Amino acid sequence: MKSSTGINQQDDQRDIRILVDGHGGDAAPAMVLDALEIALSPSFAARFQGSLTLGVVGQEEVLRPLLQQRGIEDSVSLIPATDVVGMCDSPSHALRRKKDSSIHVGARMVRDGYWDALVSAGNTGALMAISKVLLKTLPGIDRPAIASMIPAVNNGRTLMLDAGANSECTSDHLVQFAIMGSCYMQATERLEHPRVGLLNIGSEDIKGTDVIKMTSVKLAETSLNYIGNVEGTDLFGNDVDVVVCDGFVGNVALKTMEGTARFLADSMRSELTSGVVAKAGALMARSALKRFKDKVNPGKYNGAPLLGLNGIVVKSHGGADAESFVSALTVACHEVSENLTDRITESIQEMVES
Amino acid sequence: MKSSTGINQQDDQRDIRILVDGHGGDAAPAMVLDALEIALSPSFAARFQGSLTLGVVGQEEVLRPLLQQRGIEDSVSLIPATDVVGMCDSPSHALRRKKDSSIHVGARMVRDGYWDALVSAGNTGALMAISKVLLKTLPGIDRPAIASMIPAVNNGRTLMLDAGANSECTSDHLVQFAIMGSCYMQATERLEHPRVGLLNIGSEDIKGTDVIKMTSVKLAETSLNYIGNVEGTDLFGNDVDVVVCDGFVGNVALKTMEGTARFLADSMRSELTSGVVAKAGALMARSALKRFKDKVNPGKYNGAPLLGLNGIVVKSHGGADAESFVSALTVACHEVSENLTDRITESIQEMVES
């Protein structure tokens, strides 16, 4: 992929070097290594332009035996880090006191150009804080945001950001999120003019907080394809590609989605297994129910990019299994092969100049 | 229900007088009158202590023929109002320029004691603004909130407020919402000490905005059964009874729920009707699927009380059909028979005194 303005031109066949955090996630480290094993298959690498190099960062004495057990010690680089960030560590504690943690070492490796991306299922706040301090933000971006892909009807996708990094945002932050989200959807979904919507509590201009109203005015002045206010019900439709909100609202929306889906699936399961006829019917409809489950499987959409950093970092859900962790790896590979960081830099430059 | 402190004591067999807005809702006025017809059946009235009187407020020339068609003109009082608030009218326009609208006249009737409650599927902002100005808020309450009942596992229910009336809230407003929500769940769900949670983006104290952190400190100092932070996933669980949030977050959560449920139902339907075996299976599992649908039917939970007003007003979903509008009527009947307004007044008084 050649960059149109010539920043950081790359060969079409670039090397994609992905480093994963060996200690992030509820089922780490085993889950992470299982995911690496899957990603080593030729069919995985074949999905991207360029050759794929995989590495894992973490405690050598823990990770080496697991690599050996799987017979992948020659195919996966092991980058040593002595410490681990816990899920309860505060971001500032992880940042200042755990400088040899897997997240810290991983982010440093990306900063210094040894690896192209870091993927972690660990502590979100710590991952964000460490990445922000080590990698810095892109010029023109004050705060990185977590972007989350949401399944939509007709196999569509909606990108929502911020999904939880910034509880309080100014209108300028939200405009920056809109630019980053738009670039991301251009690069990864091949959309020419992604439609950008502002998450609000009604479609009318008079709705929402003062920050939201101001953001709407500013978005309308950009060259983005801004379509105005959208609502929670629009997240799953085909009328918007990028939905912008602050991290508090985005995180509540995302967790509400997760809760609703789980509640509905549990309710359906209990009904379909209560009674012989219903059970038989459910058996006959099994493949349809499985297709349904696959289609709305949140794991399929696992892997939330931390956008706005001068480097590629992808957050996996902490509860991910190996298969959904592979989805997060896929997100990282796409970002690298599409030169996402350069693209966002260029877009912001263009917006500032215009 | 006798009030414990003697405020406004009522007979056990009180008259429940419910006035409905004839012009609110996408399918009004026909839907509203169909709902009244259902509510006139003895089985509906039998659900409440006391006799039930029903009325409809709106344009006489429109409503009278519809009452006659249904043969219910002698059972339902018709209160004339010449004007109608449109869905696009701003709250201030509706408040100042449409003083003979059905909402205006209805709220005035409740204020003046002719009716006990107003139920409307009309313009939410206008309903809130007019009710607030005419009925006033209860002593100690700065702003009314819209409360929304959410289905939870094991046939549980969670009350979330504010669901959209107040985009920006101070910590004092949120504490008032907590008190009102707790009273509501005591009265309607017979819970002695409803568990109150604060909607946040993590369970830890360091999470959230400054307003949220301050609210948490203040809630812990009240006599409420405050259990701390809850997340979007907890809305459907059995660990919390009242979830407090500002109206922006609450509205986004509610609409995200609606969107998720619709998306999942559509996906399931399309899978279950694609292929002969799946179709046959779905037919066999039909009653189970119907039970599932009934269980998670949002219409069943229709009827959001506007809490904190000195009078009872219930908002129905604008897209309600007659059956779900009856659910909103049920909410109003419960509030009247449980003397909810007095109960909230007493609770706030107790909190202030303690």
pLDDT of B9 higher than 60? no
Inter-chain contacts counted by CB atoms under 8 A, chains A and B: 201
Mean pLDDT of chain A: 89
Q: Any CB–CB contact under 8 A between B87 and chain A?
A: no
CATH number of the domain located at residue range(s) A143-303 in this protein: 3.40.718.10
**In chain B, what residues touch A126 (CB-CB under 8 Å)?**
none
Q: Any CB–CB contact under 8 A between B278 and chain A?
A: yes
At B188 the pLDDT is: 85
The radius of gyration computed from the CA coordinates of chain B, to the nearest angstrom, equals 21
**In chain A, what residues touch B278 (CB-CB under 8 Å)?**
284-285, 287-288
At A21 the pLDDT is: 98
CB B239 within 8 A of CB B195: yes
CA gap B328, B317 in Å, rounded? 9
CA gap B233, B228 in Å, rounded? 15
At A187 the pLDDT is: 84
Mean pLDDT of chain B: 89
Q: Which of A54-58, B202-206, B320-324 is the least confident region?
A: B202-206
At B12 the pLDDT is: 55
- Asked if B255 lies within 8 A of A233 by C-beta distance, the reply is yes
pLDDT of B157 higher than 80? yes
Contacts of B23 (CB under 8 A, 6+ apart): B29, B32, B58, B59, B62, B84, B85, B101, B102, B122
**In chain A, what residues touch B285 (CB-CB under 8 Å)?**
272, 277-278, 280-282, 285
pLDDT tens over chain A, length 354 residues: 333 333 344 445 678 999 999 999 999 999 999 999 999 999 998 888 889 999 999 999 999 999 999 999 999 999 999 999 998 888 999 999 999 999 999 999 999 999 999 999 999 999 999 999 999 999 989 999 999 999 888 888 999 999 999 999 999 999 999 999 999 998 888 899 999 999 999 887 778 899 999 999 999 999 999 999 999 999 998 999 999 999 999 999 999 998 888 888 777 777 777 777 777 767 766 776 676 666 666 667 789 999 999 999 999 999 899 999 999 999 999 999 988 899 888 887 887 666
Selected from 3.40.718.10, 2.60.40.350, 3.40.50.10540, 1.50.10.20, the CATH number assigned to the domain covering B1-139+308-339 reads 3.40.718.10
At B293 the pLDDT is: 67
Q: SS3 of B210, please?
A: helix
- Asked if A271 lies within 8 A of B288 by C-beta distance, the reply is yes
| Element housing A242 (H / E) | strand A242-244
In the stretch 88-107 of chain B, residues with CB closer than 8 A to chain A read 88, 90
At A258 the pLDDT is: 87
Contacts of B55 (CB under 8 A, 6+ apart): B17, B18, B19, B20, B76, B77, B78, B79, B115
Signed CA dihedral, B165, B171, B173, B178: sign only = positive
Question: What is the per-residue pLDDT across B206-229, written as a single tens digit (0 to 9) for each?
Answer: 788 999 999 999 999 999 999 999
| Chain A interface, best mutation among B211, B230, B246, B248, by max A CB count within 10 A | B248
At A293 the pLDDT is: 67
At A326 the pLDDT is: 96
pLDDT of B106 higher than 60? yes
Tell me which chain A residue has its CA closest to the CA of residue B209: A167
Joined together, the tokens standing for residue A171 give 């209108």
Q: SS3 of A216, please?
A: helix
Write down the CATH superfamily of domain B142-301: Isopropylmalate Dehydrogenase (3.40.718.10)
**In chain A, what residues touch B151 (CB-CB under 8 Å)?**
263
Of B236, B291, B295, nearest to A260 by CB-CB distance is B236
Q: Any CB–CB contact under 8 A between A220 and chain B?
A: no
CB A62 within 8 A of CB A102: no
**In chain A, what residues touch B256 (CB-CB under 8 Å)?**
232-233, 235, 253, 256-257, 260
- Asked if A256 lies within 8 A of B233 by C-beta distance, the reply is yes
Mean pLDDT of B225-253: 95
In the stretch 221-250 of chain B, residues with CB closer than 8 A to chain A read 231-237, 245, 247-249
CA distances from B13 to A283, B5, B46, B327 (A): 52, 19, 12, 22
Tell me which chain A residue has its CA closest to the CA of residue B260: A257
Interior/surface letters B220-242, b for 16+ CB within 10 angstroms, e for the rest = eeeebbbbbbbbbbbbbbeebbb
In the stretch 162-181 of chain A, residues with CB closer than 8 A to chain B read 164, 167-168
**In chain B, what residues touch A272 (CB-CB under 8 Å)?**
285, 288-289, 292
Domain boundaries, chain B: 1-139+308-339, 142-301
**Are both B1-139+308-339 and B142-301 of the same fold?**
yes
Mean pLDDT of B251-272: 84
Neighbours of B300 (CB within 10 A): 15
Of B90, B231, B260, nearest to A260 by CB-CB distance is B260
| Smallest Cα distance from B42 to chain A, Å | 31
Q: How many CA atoms lie within 13 A of A78 on its CB side?
A: 19
At B354 the pLDDT is: 65
Output the CA angle B238-B239-B243, nearest 5 degrees: 100
| Smallest Cα distance from B210 to chain A, Å | 9
Give percent of chain A above pLDDT 90: 66
CA gap B30, B38 in Å, rounded? 13
Q: SS3 of B234, please?
A: helix
Strands B145-152 and B304-307: antiparallel
Tell me which chain B residue has its CA closest to the CA of residue A259: B233
Mean pLDDT of B44-66: 94
In the stretch 16-55 of chain A, residues with CB closer than 8 A to chain B read none
Question: ipTM greater than 0.90, yes or no?
Answer: no
Question: What is the per-residue pLDDT across A230-281, written as a single tens digit (0 to 9) for each?
Answer: 999 999 989 999 999 999 999 999 999 988 888 887 777 777 777 777 777 6
- Asked if A232 lies within 8 A of B256 by C-beta distance, the reply is yes
pLDDT of B162 higher than 90? yes
CA gap A212, A218 in Å, rounded? 10
CB B320 within 8 A of CB B121: yes
In A154-203 the beta strands, taken as DSSP E runs, fall at 156-161, 195-199
CATH number of the domain located at residue range(s) A1-141+308-326 in this protein: 3.40.718.10
pLDDT of B200 higher than 90? yes
Question: What is the per-residue pLDDT across B10-39, written as a single tens digit (0 to 9) for each?
Answer: 445 678 999 999 999 999 999 999 999 999
If you count them, how many residues does chain A have?
354
CA gap A342, A275 in Å, rounded? 58
pLDDT of B297 higher than 70? no
Mean pLDDT of B123-147: 94
Q: How many CA atoms lie within 13 A of A217 on its CB side?
A: 10
At A241 the pLDDT is: 97
